[in-house]
Structures are given as C-alpha cells and as structure tokens.
Amino acid sequence: MKTPSILITGATGTVGRELTRQLAEQGHAFRVMVRSLDKAEPWRSLPSAEVVMGDFEDASSLRTALQGIDRAFLLSPSSEKAEAQQLAFLEAARQTGLKHLVKLSQLAADENSPVRFLRYHAAVEKAIQQTGMEYTFLRPNLFMQGLLGFKDLIRATGQFFASAGEAPVSVIDVRDIARVALHCLTEEGHQGKTYTLTGPQALTHREMAAELSLSLGTEVRYTDVPSEEMHQGLLQAGFPEWQAAGLMEDYAHYSRQEAAFLTSAVEEITGAKPLSFRDFARDYAEAFLR
C-alpha cells in the first residue's frame, strides 16, 4: 500500500467514521488516529487504511501520528479541553510540516459569541490562520444524526425533547459533511476557504418529529421543555456541566433563529444537493427502530 498522506482524527465518531467510509469507498489511502487499538476494527482489513495510536493529550503521539502526512482532518469533541487539545494538534502539525489542515468547526463560529463552542472553534481557527499553514474550515449546522441519541427514548415514549421552541434550524446530514471533507482533503482549490454547511431546508423540531413519524410509521412527538429542564436532563444523562451548559447556549442560539439560514456550499463543493431530513429519516428508520 502507498503510504497515506492524509490523517483523519475523530475517526471513531459520528463524522469521522462516515468520512473514512467514503474515503475507503473511493479508494483513497488514509491513516486514522485512534486512542486505543480496540477501536481499530473498522479499518483493520482495509487495504487503503493505516491505523496509528494518538491522543490529543499526548503531544509526542500527535507528532508520531502526523509523520509523513500532508493533509489532516481535525475533529475533537466539544469538551472543556477541546481548545487546548486542538491547539496541541496544531503545534504538532506545525512541527511535522503539515501542509493543509481541514478543521471541523461549527456554523457561526465567532470569538465574541455567547456560545462557548462557537468561541473555542473561532479561537482555534484564528490560531491556525496565524501559523500560515493552508487550511479549510468546515462550519456545519446542527447534525441530523444527533437525533439518534434519542432513539431509546423515542422507542420507549414516542417523544424527544429540547428547548428549541418553534425556531427552524437548517440541520445537516453528517454524510454531506463527510462528502465535503473528502473533497477538501483530496483535491485542490479549498485552501484558505471557510465553508458554512447547511441542509437544504430549515425545519422546526416539531416538523422533524412529523417527518420521523412518517418514516417510522409510528407517532413521534417533539416536546419543547424549559431550558432549565433540558439542562438538568443533560446532567442526568451524564454530560459534564461545561458541556451541558454549552449545549444550552447552543439551543438558545437555535431558538433565536440564528441557525435557520441556508447555504449552497454542499452542492457547490460536491456537485450534489444536500440530503434532506426526509432522506435522513428514511435511511436511518431501522437505526431508530432497532
């Protein structure tokens, strides 16, 4: 196998797994960075994939993971450590001479945002720009696949909840985020670009519930709950306080209708229209029912 020149971080997660699936399907050679070899199973038998151990908390492992790599996809979870972890990766990338960094950011990233996730993403974007390294920033809206986190609740009670009010959100399918990332990692022309990625329509959570009802063949209701109730629900579900508070800031941002606009970036980059929520509800019906 040709030594891969592309490194994928966050490969075991929602976006990264889809990105590596698409890279493999198209025959691109790539390296995935995993924290534990137990998690390497999806790539072990793939001739185009190489697995390396790496942890954002361990700078020397990041340098090892980046050896010989020209382009990298940077994704880490939005935890309290995210900014420091991504800056550590950037420093390792600078030391190993990475040419082009594709960073998964978030729609409306801004250092002055009231939303902590949008502030840290903006701070990392700025640091990347300051290195002079080539970069592409992908700023997606809320992931459709996030609703899979409610599948047990939906199966048990026929409902899911949040504090989004009646605000429409131009939710995006992670398969489209992965498609865009694949283009940015494997072709020229995306350097120095910031792409805001949305789905093809903005839907309220109630409208998403109606689409899920149609697809699953059983009624799914959306229950809007006061912010404090959602916050407590997140804490009870095991989210650390920093992240739960951040998600509440995200939902306040959605309910202010700040994430309702549409962009044409997915179609411009991939040549195909973004997947609709109806496509998502159809393709994931079995995952919701399982």
Q: Which residues bind ligand NAP (CB under 6 A)?
A: 10-16, 35, 39, 55-57, 75-78, 104, 106, 117, 140, 142-143, 146
* Minimum distance, C-beta of residue 249 to ligand NAP, in the bound complex (Å): 12
Nearer to ligand NAP, 14 or 163 (CB): 14
* Minimum distance, C-beta of residue 136 to ligand NAP, in the bound complex (Å): 15
> Is residue 33 within 8 Å of 25, Cβ to Cβ?
no
Nearer to ligand NAP, 108 or 210 (CB): 108
* Minimum distance, C-beta of residue 94 to ligand NAP, in the bound complex (Å): 18
3-state secondary structure of 175: helix
Residue sitting closest to ligand NAP (CB): 13
- Give the tokens for residue 119: 């502030």
3-state secondary structure of 76: coil
Nearer to ligand NAP, 114 or 189 (CB): 114
Which helix (DSSP H) or strand (DSSP E) does residue 162 occupy? strand 159-162
- Give the tokens for residue 224: 């809007």
Closest CA to 30 of 62, 69, 56: 69
> Is residue 64 within 8 Å of 54, Cβ to Cβ?
yes
* Minimum distance, C-beta of residue 150 to ligand NAP, in the bound complex (Å): 13
- Give the tokens for residue 182: 């694949």
Nearer to ligand NAP, 16 or 199 (CB): 16
* Minimum distance, C-beta of residue 280 to ligand NAP, in the bound complex (Å): 13
- Give the tokens for residue 109: 């990233």
> Is residue 38 within 8 Å of 13, Cβ to Cβ?
no
Nearer to ligand NAP, 106 or 163 (CB): 106
* Minimum distance, C-beta of residue 235 to ligand NAP, in the bound complex (Å): 18
Q: How far is CA 75 from CA 3, 16, 86, 224, 257, in A?
A: 22, 8, 8, 30, 26
- Give the tokens for residue 4: 């891969």
Nearer to ligand NAP, 217 or 254 (CB): 254
